[in-house]
């Protein structure tokens, strides 16, 4: 097999996973990243990242294959066994790993630790990392190659993987449009230090002003998520610590212990989906192809599923940039990504309002769903495995 040259633009979680996965196939892989990290420093640091991901079993298996999961198990990691969703003063829906014969549903892990554990694999596979702070200025393609232009600097490969996020410069330069919208709310993430033993249940409560969620990290840390109007959250974000804590206590169900507020941030919510996943020898993965409502923490899991699907369709091909090959990847992923995006939107819009008939219907749905074991377990298996099988 020809040792194809692959450039991955973006060294975040999905980009780094793509690089390692393709390098394991024997590809010559280079990462172009504007913010280099010191993986050793991150993995040994006591600083806790406010950004966390709910890694499902599919993603856990991938991270094991890539050599990252063993490092993560030595660091701050929190397996969760239960996931509960419920209405304010209403019915609940509880998923438990023991109902499907599993030891856990997934892990809550800091994004920086996942990224660093993947970067630690680069030297093993000879993955070159290039720091490039200049924006990409042009993309040119020939029948057998693609070249990225950063001012006077050029990089040529057989395939370029765009993993440069929701505001992807490569997607824009390639002329790949997106469809989507901004949601009417923003989201606040709050890192807390919790005076309680290790928690094994993550939960979401749907309220008229938007969902709130509790994500237990490795004790004593946890993450609180609160959806609300942008003006409200931006005002909260400027409050003194004790006043913000009072607002959180008023909006959240009772937490399992007292807590200290460590850090908080507000970010807008958007959904977008690329009209095409490839253009010539450029292909999109992760947030550059799709951004999803973060309601159930499925964003990075979808990105990791992209990584596996792309590697599967490229396996055995001498020319990894062929149009037909990249369209096979899109065929494998577009429907699954759209399904998850639509499911998250249905939950978000269906539960975050005060219409009395809909509130009654939601209560009946949750009660029914919680008592239909086979259907509930199918949904649970889909959520943790990322497949419909």
pLDDT tens per residue, range 192-214: 999 999 999 999 888 888 889 99
| Contact yes or no for 162/62 (Cβ under 8 A) | no
Taken in order of first residue, the domains within the chain and their CATH numbers are: 5-78+107-180+271-350 (3.50.50.60)
State yes or no: pLDDT of 162 exceeds 70: yes
CA dihedral (202, 206, 207, 209) positive or negative: positive
| Contact yes or no for 283/310 (Cβ under 8 A) | yes
CA distances from 44 to 79, 304, 347 (A): 20, 25, 38
* pLDDT computed for residue 211 by the predictor: 86
State yes or no: pLDDT of 119 exceeds 90: yes
Structural element, H or E, at residue 385: helix 373-385
Q: For residue 112, which of 80, 76, 81, 79 has the smallest C-alpha distance?
A: 76
Radius of gyration of the chain measured on its C-alpha atoms: 21
Greatest Cα-to-Cα distance within the chain, rounded to the nearest angstrom: 63
Write out pLDDT tens, residues 73-113: 999 999 999 988 887 666 778 889 998 888 999 999 999 99
CA distances from 58 to 18, 33, 350, 382 (A): 15, 26, 27, 10
| Contact yes or no for 42/111 (Cβ under 8 A) | no
| Contact yes or no for 31/130 (Cβ under 8 A) | yes
pTM of the full structure: 0.91
List all residues 6 or more positions away from 300 whose beta carbon is below 8 Å from its beta carbon. 13, 14, 53, 55, 59, 111, 114, 286
State yes or no: pLDDT of 120 exceeds 80: yes
State yes or no: pLDDT of 175 exceeds 50: yes
Q: If you average pLDDT over residues 212-233, what whole number do you get?
A: 95
| Contact yes or no for 20/122 (Cβ under 8 A) | yes
Write out pLDDT tens, residues 318-365: 899 999 999 999 999 999 898 887 777 666 655 555 544 445 454 544
Structural element, H or E, at residue 179: strand 178-194
State yes or no: pLDDT of 37 exceeds 60: yes
Q: If you average pLDDT over residues 224-230, what whole number do you get?
A: 93
Four-point Cα dihedral 342, 346, 347, 348, nearest 10: 90
């Amino acid at each position: 097999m020809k040792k194809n040259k692959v450039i991955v633009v973006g060294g975040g979680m999905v980009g780094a996973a793509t690089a390692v996965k393709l390098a394991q196939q024997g590809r010559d892989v280079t990462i172009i990243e504007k913010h280099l990290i010191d993986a050793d420093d991150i993995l040994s640091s006591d600083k806790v990242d406010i950004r966390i991901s709910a890694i499902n079993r599919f993603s856990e298996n991938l991270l094991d294959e890539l050599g990252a999961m063993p490092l993560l198990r030595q660091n701050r990691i929190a397996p969760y066994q239960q996931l509960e969703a419920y209405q304010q003063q209403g019915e609940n829906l509880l998923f438990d790993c023991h109902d499907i014969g599993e030891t856990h549903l997934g892990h809550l892990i800091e994004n920086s630790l996942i990224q660093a554990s993947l970067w630690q694999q680069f030297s093993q596979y000879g993955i070159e990392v290039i720091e490039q702070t200049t924006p990409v200025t042009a993309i040119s393609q020939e029948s057998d190659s693609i070249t990225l232009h950063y001012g006077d600097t050029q990089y040529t490969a057989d395939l370029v993987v765009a993993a440069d996020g929701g505001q992807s410069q490569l997607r824009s330069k390639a002329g790949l449009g997106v469809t989507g919208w901004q949601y009417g709310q923003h989201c606040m993430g709050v890192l807390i230090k919790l005076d309680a033993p290790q928690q094994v249940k993550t939960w979401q409560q749907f309220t008229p002003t938007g969902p709130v969620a509790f994500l237990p990290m490795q004790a004593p840390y946890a993450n609180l998520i609160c959806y609300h109007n942008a003006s409200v959250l931006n005002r909260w974000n400027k409050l003194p610590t004790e006043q913000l804590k009072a607002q959180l206590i008023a909006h959240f169900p009772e937490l399992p212990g007292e807590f200290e507020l460590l850090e908080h941030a507000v970010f807008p919510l958007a959904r977008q989906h690329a009209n095409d996943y490839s253009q010539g020898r450029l292909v999109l993965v992760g947030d550059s192809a799709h951004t999803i409502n973060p309601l159930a923490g499925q964003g990075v899991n979808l990105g990791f599923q992209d990584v596996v699907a792309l590697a599967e369709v490229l396996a055995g091909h001498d020319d990894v940039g062929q149009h037909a090959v990249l369209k096979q990847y899109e065929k494998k992923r577009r429907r699954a990504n759209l399904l998850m995006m639509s499911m998250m939107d249905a939950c978000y819009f269906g539960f975050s309002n005060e219409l009395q008939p809909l509130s009654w219907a939601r209560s009946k749905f949750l009660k029914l769903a919680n008592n239909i074991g086979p259907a509930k377990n199918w949904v649970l298996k889909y959520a943790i495995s990322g497949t419909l099988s």
